[in-house]
Amino acid sequence: MFKRRSPISYTEALLRWIYPRGGWTRAGRYVVHRLRRLPDPAHKISRGIAAGVFASFTPFFGFHFVLASLLALALRGNILAALLATFFGNPITFPVIATISVEFGSWLLGGSRVPPQDILLGFSLASVELWGNFAAIFSPARVSWVETGQFFSYIFMPYLVGCIIPGFFAGVAAYLMANPVIASYQRGRIKKLKERFEARRRQSEAAKARKAHEASRAAKGVNDRMEH
């Protein structure tokens, strides 16, 4: 019932993730539009945004929605805002986020510098090896953890350690920027709704007064005819 009429291929789905239909500008406008429609107070929505931005800094790809939701619950923020804010992590920003986090984490852990191209390669090789190990359960193929082990110590751990401070400051910055903007928008929206309500009330009262006047004139006409 809810399936697509013409299913898309995995390649097309990947291309849409890299560059969504309508472009990133349209996707960004959609996120902003949805954030505007959220009913919670500005501070609660902003907390959700901070949680989503922080989650997008972590190396738990595929689980950013889950992590953002848990952080939003812990911060008493809006969960939908947190999910929308994970849009901060996208194919355009991920290379920058990953490079900063891995380099900072390597420096904190006292490891060697990791070239940016090795980060993507490490994720790719580890994913392929994990999938191969899963397939080995149903085949005579041998299980190997060489690439996964190197990835864990060389990339994942520095990424995990290094993402905390940049992610924290990015989340705080997102909160500080979003809170006044959303609060101002909500005040303006409430003001417009009040103005519309007052305009409708005045129109309703004018209509009632007009009907009462017409009824009074009609009654007066009937009385005049009865007197004649």
Return the pLDDT at 86: 92
Task: Decide: 77 and 50 in contact? Cβ < 8 Å.
Answer: yes
Return the pLDDT at 105: 95
**What pLDDT, in 10s, does the model give residues 152-181?**
999 999 999 999 999 999 999 999 999 998
Quote the CA–CA distance of 224 and 42 in Å, as a whole number.
63
Q: What is the DSSP string of the chain?
A: --S-SSPPPHHHHHHHHHS-TTHHHHHHHHHHHHHHT--S-HHHHHHHHHHHHHHTTSS-TT-HHHHHHHHHHHHT--HHHHHHHGGGSSTTTHHHHHHHHHHHHHHHHT-----HHHHHHHHHHHHHHHHHHHHHTTSSPPP--HHHHHHIIIIIHHHHHHTHHHHHHHHHHHHHHHHHHHHHHHHHHHHHHHHHHHHHHHHHHHHHHHHHHHHHHHHHHHHHHHH-
Name the residue type at position 158: P
**What pLDDT, in 10s, does the model give residues 50-83?**
999 999 999 999 899 999 999 999 999 999 899 9
Q: Which residues of the chain have pLDDT under 50?
A: 1-3, 10, 14-15, 17-18, 24
Return the pLDDT at 17: 45
CA atoms within 13 A on the CB side of 193: 6
Look at residues 163, 145, 155, 93 and name the one whose alpha carbon lies nearest to residue 121. Answer: 155
Give whole-number Cα distances, 63 to 56, 103, 150, in Å: 9, 22, 22
Q: What percent of the chain lies above the pLDDT cut of 90?
A: 36
Task: Decide: 181 and 81 in contact? Cβ < 8 Å.
Answer: no
